[in-house]
Amino acid sequence: MKLKTELSQIGEMRPGSLSQQYSACQKRGCKCVDPVKPKKHGPFYQLSYSHRGKSTTQFVRPQFLTQVRRQLAAYKRFKTLTEEWVALALELSKAKLEEARLAASKPKRTR
């Protein structure tokens, strides 16, 4: 089955989404509170995800961004493939039940 092969080839993965944040520390004299040309600190990268009903947000250091983005993409692929698998399983199950129902309703010819 093609789906199974593809699923087995998925590498490191993790659920979630990345967002960029900027912040102002509000310290006097800092560039972020400059009255003329304020420049906030950032970007900071935040990763948000929920697992088993609990949502979490954590910061991601810039040097891990590439790796994390790759893991997020792998997880999306995983989700797509498992959804396809479930859809196929449902179809197959439905077809089998229908087949069994038809077989049961057919008059039996034993003679």
Q: Please identify, using beta-carbon distances, which residue of 25 and 89 lies nearer to Zn ion.
A: 25
Answer for which of 30, 68, 74, 81 binds Zn ion (CB under 5 A) is 30
Question: Can residue 40 be called a binding residue for Zn ion (CB under 5 A)?
Answer: no
Residue 59: CB minimum distance to Zn ion, A: 17
- Name the token pair of 83: 């959804």
Question: Can residue 25 be called a binding residue for Zn ion (CB under 5 A)?
Answer: yes
Q: Please identify, using beta-carbon distances, which residue of 13 and 33 lies nearer to Zn ion.
A: 33
Q: Which of 85, 61, 73 is nearest to 15 (CA)?
A: 73
Q: Which of 51, 65, 56 is nearest to 20 (CA)?
A: 65
Check: CB of residue 3 under 8 Å from CB of residue 88. yes
Question: Can residue 32 be called a binding residue for Zn ion (CB under 5 A)?
Answer: yes
Q: Which of 22, 21, 45, 46 is nearest to 32 (CA)?
A: 22
Stretch near Zn ion under the rule CB under 5 A, chosen from 4-12, 24-32, 78-86, 90-98: 24-32
